[in-house]
Structure 1
């Protein structure tokens, strides 16, 4: 496997290019988050000089990082002046720092298994050498004192293995400054999980502390129905900015959801249930349901539709639960074991949707349009969020 490390000092002054390859600025620094637990310090983003401004570019916006510089994904660039936050570490501030009898010469960055960039190693040199040069490169853990940030690092370590619901309660209780720093430091997918456990007004406030590009990356990691609820809670102008910053496919899906009233089946549904064609084998359907990235309520059943199998689909034929699939021969087509649990219309009220789920002991119910095409599915967890009394999350805390 090729070495994908990029040294921060070499990255600085290289070009920042848009998605078409046109250079729009220069990289001036690397912004690093604090270390916590055994997790390496995460690259939060980069300081770049664009149009005579020093701006922050979220690491999630980078499509490629290498010897030629950084190439961005599509979308707009936030031109607000960069301001360092408490707990953030600039790579340039580490250069020349003492570490025992040596000094820091450079910091190596590398992608992890999730595709996020983090500090992989630190280059060290002799403190009193006439010509400073790297003597050795050590794993970041041998230099972790460089990446400690006091109470912030301790707070992050404490949150690392907590359930998202408990993390959300803890973050909610923090003062605004600390809450913003936690949001900056945790990975996008973890922040998305936290947001999904908070009321929409608190989600909006937390995202206000992030630059638009990073906030858009986080929204893309959220479940579509939760992301749509969040966007619906924003002022129209801000919502429009987010839809422009999102990937076109995600923006189109969320725009469809935003057409529905939040208190209806259309407002509750996810547009991304497990959808299969009738000739797909039972074994293949079970393989899709086993995907660990699929939320449990969605993975409990598959929806069978005529092609196309992206919402809005072809004609909705029925659904099948994973327990029924386990009792079927793996090679059989799924069409032979579907059940007709009916469907609801997008405009049906949330109370009626809850009654349908309860009456038929369903974990999810199909949502179909006038032509009988599947446009989404409402899961029981989304209904519970709506029918429980207002403020139930705070009482739980």
Structure 2
């Protein structure tokens, strides 16, 4: 970026695309890496943390950045695809500096950091953090809904309730180098609000344990439940263990029953029973039922909340259920038709109606008349290889699980099959990348 251009607030860089000199996208910005300096000298911006398509995070030095414009970063030269590892002297700008409580040097007044700006130094290829956008008083950034989206004070979400905000020089504040307990997370979460749960889980996984707990505590129950389902097992247990028990039970209720059962199965028996007791009885009953099955069987893999309809329901009824935005694409791909009761375990399972068939028939058509009843359902004791073979053979994304009496117990989705077929640490590793020939000889993150 040429000297003299306006400063850039880091919240605007989160998630923007990174392109190589040929114009091909190589990834997206997930954070910035800075080094604090002695005295009141502005921190030096070392580089960007870039997430590749494989979810591997690499370090992109600022010396390789030739432009930041129109919502994109342009790089020069080849990239070092070694995984980024934070050094003790480095700070993640989004992950660690936002939401910190610091003091104004002149008055000693406590303020909360909402954003920081970066700028390239004149006649050099170095960058530094030059300004800090803060809110007076304690607490994080005020947020409000505008057309269904979250607005921050510097993005049109301000007002008297938000408190006075101001932009000051880096040297005008102090306290960034101190360890802070109870650091907020509102500004950081607003920066990442558009991320899918799996991507936000990846963000949390790469934060420090302290910061991960703070961010998880700031998420609402439903969002945290979605993110927990995408985290490695160790992170799940750590986060759940640091929540108050009542809230931990609420989050478990918000999770898919099969994921909640998998997580509880990793806890000591005493903790497991205590949390199950705190859950709503009907939610706990579903989880207990799933925990009775072996982990790598259809019964252990299934969810107890598929779409179940009676045979006299219409196509219009089915489509209305499929439109539920809380359903995963796999669960929304088909509905299961059963005799009453229509909650698992149901009455007699009659067959499946696939989403494509629902689109082809008139809305008044009864689902009982368009069943796919030729496909044999899975037995709850079917082992993982049998389940995987079923999906591969019939090109399915979900499959019914039916017991010996003919009652529908639940449905297995392809994502749960993949979760259990991949290596246990697949969320913490990436697809194979050639880190050899033609890569930059940087040692950062080695």
CA contact (8 A) 2:232 2:428 kept: no
Whether 2:209 is the aligned partner of 1:209: answer no
Structure 1 residue 202: deviation in Å?
2.1
- Aligned equivalent of 1:378, options 412, 417, 422: 412
TM-score relative to the length of structure 1 = 0.64
Aligned-partner Cα distance in 2 for 1:247–1:144: 43
| Alignment match, 1:394 | 428
Mark the CA change 1:111 to 1:246 in structure 2 (over 3 Å): closer, same or farther: farther
Note if contact 2:302-2:412 (Cα within 8 Å) is conserved in structure 1: yes
What aligned pairs does 1:9-28 form with structure 2 within 5 A after superposition? none
Contact 1:316 1:368 in 2 (8 A): yes
Larger radius of gyration: 2
If the length of structure 2 is used for normalisation, what is the TM-score? 0.57
CA offset digits 1:35-89 (Å, max 9, x no partner): x99xxxxxxxxxxxxxxxxxxxxxxxxxxxxxxxxxxxxxxxxxxxxxxxx9799
CA-to-aligned-CA distance 1:266-309 (integer Å, 9 cap, x gap): 10000000000001011110111011111111011000001110
SS at match of 1:285: helix
Aligned pairs for 1:38-57 (under 5 A) are none
Question: Aligned Cα RMSD in Å?
Answer: 3.5
Distance in 2 of aligned mates of 1:110 and 1:156: 11
Cα distance in 1 for residues equivalent to 2:226 and 2:164: 31
User: Within the alignment, does 1:185 sit opposite 2:221 as a pair?
Assistant: no
User: Which of 262, 270, 274 is residue 229 of structure 1 equivalent to?
Assistant: 262
Verify the 8 A CA contact 1:318 1:342 in the aligned structure 2.
no
Matched residue count: 283
State the partner residue of 1:302.
335
Q: How many Å separate the matches in 1 of 2:334 and 2:317?
A: 13
Which one of the candidate residues 388, 393, 397 is aligned to 1:359?
A: 393
Distance 1:257 1:391, change over 3 A: same
Residue 295 (structure 2) aligns with: 262
Once the two structures are superposed, the pairs formed by residues 1-397 of structure 1 within 5 Å of their partners are 139-141=160-162, 143=164, 152-340=185-373, 341-396=375-430
Q: Gapped runs of 5+ residues in structure 1?
A: 1-35, 38-85, 90-95, 119-137
Match of residue 75 from structure 2: none
Give the Å deviation of 1:142: 5.0
Q: CA deviation at 1:153?
A: 4.5
**8 Å contact from structure 2 (residues 99, 188) kept in 1:** no
Q: Is the CA contact 1:189–1:222 (under 8 Å) kept in the aligned structure 2?
A: yes
User: Which has more helix, going by share of residues?
Assistant: 1
User: Structure 1 pair 333/198, CA: closer, same or farther in 2 (3 Å)?
Assistant: same
State how far apart, in whole Å, the 1-side matches of 2:195 and 2:335 are: 30
Shift of 1:350: 1.1
Q: Encode CA deviations 1:137-170: one digit per residue, 9 max, x unaligned.
A: x65235568xxx9884543233222121121112
Residue 189 of structure 1 and its aligned partner are, at CA, apart by 1.3
| d(CA) in 2 for partners of 1:228, 1:111 | 35
The structural deviation recorded for 1:390 is: 2.9
Cα separation, partners in 2 of 1:330 and 1:153, compared to 1, 3 Å: closer
Higher alpha-carbon deviation: 177-186 or 165-174 = 165-174
Instruction: Name the CA distance, whole Å, in 2 between partners of 1:344 and 1:251.
Output: 24
Divergent runs of 4+, >4 A = 86-89, 109-113, 142-145, 149-154
Q: Name which structure has the greater RCO, CA cutoff 8 Å, separation 6+.
A: 2
